Amino acid sequence: MGVGEDCEPLRLALCRYPKSVMMGGKRYRTKLPGWRFHGFSKTQFASLHGWAHFRRCHTAVIDLLAGIRRLGLEVAISDEGDYWPGRSLPELRRNLDEMNGIVAAAAGALKDAHDGEGGGIQSPIFAHRDFERLEAEGEAKAGKAIRQAHGRISRLLRKGTAS
């Protein structure tokens, strides 16, 4: 199910598991008795279309999962955007900007490391209208780790072309 442009599809599953299964003539307990529900969607790149679009997509997924809870199903909601459980839009925005910055800085470093080696690095984050700002902020936040990764990748690429 599509949540919005540049979101991964929302995948939902509702399954009923048996208490045990037979395999090779032996009975094994599944440890998953009863009904299980699972769903996920990556919404981060909806931000390529602005905050309002991202906010609508992200909160729609959370609202749907929270609504399923009201139907009586036990649903554990894990939100990397930190919107759930407090439903704080400022916290969601802060987290989105931070994650976009780290992804932009890492993608930029990979691209820089790889460009001289004849290949191309692709990432949706390159299409973000604020890519340069996000990359600079991500570099400021996680620059040391990104520079270390950049150095390792550069060395690996040089080794690969030396063979």
DSSP 72-132: T-------TTS-TTTT-HHHHHHHHHHHHHHHHHHHHHHHHHHHTTT-----GGGG-TTHH
User: What pTM, to 2 d.p., does this model score?
Assistant: 0.75
Q: Residue 86 carries which side chain, given as an amino acid letter?
A: G
Same domain, 66 and 2: yes
pLDDT at 118 over 50: no
| Segments forming the whole domain that contains residue 72 | 1-80
Measured between alpha carbons, how far is 67 from 85 in angstroms, rounded to an integer? 13
Structural domains of the chain, count: 2
Same domain, 110 and 57: no
Same domain, 21 and 92: no
Same domain, 20 and 57: yes
Measured between alpha carbons, how far is 141 from 163 in angstroms, rounded to an integer? 36
Same domain, 120 and 64: no
Measured between alpha carbons, how far is 49 from 52 in angstroms, rounded to an integer? 8
Q: What is the pLDDT of residues 5-55, one digit of tens each?
A: 999 888 888 888 888 899 999 999 988 767 777 778 889 999 999 999 999
